[in-house]
Amino acid sequence: MKQISSPQERVEIMLSLHPADYARLKAGAIKTKMSEAEFYAVSLHIGSLAVLRDYGHRIE
């Protein structure tokens, strides 16, 4: 993966998802009227914060 040198840059990743998870993400993008890529990015961001919180990590 590429190092991020500024908050404006993005990193591309490839995901392998279970078909049900993909359908859920696709439906979420449609319901929120976001592009799939934008919805996936927001979901990963929020989900990773939730996982860290569940494992007792402080989020700053």
DSSP string of 9-55, one letter each residue: ----------HHHHHHHHHHHHHHT--HHHHHHHHHHHHHHHHHHHT
| Residue with more model confidence, 6 or 41 | 41
pLDDT value at residue 7: 63
pLDDT tens-place string over residues 11-43: 888 889 999 999 999 999 999 999 999 999 999
Give the predicted TM-score (pTM) of the model. Answer: 0.69
CA dihedral 33, 54, 13, 5 (to 10 degrees): 100
DSSP state of 7: T
Residue 2 vs residue 16, higher pLDDT? 16
d(CA 35, CA 42): 11
Parse the chain into domains and list their residue ranges.
Answer: 35-60
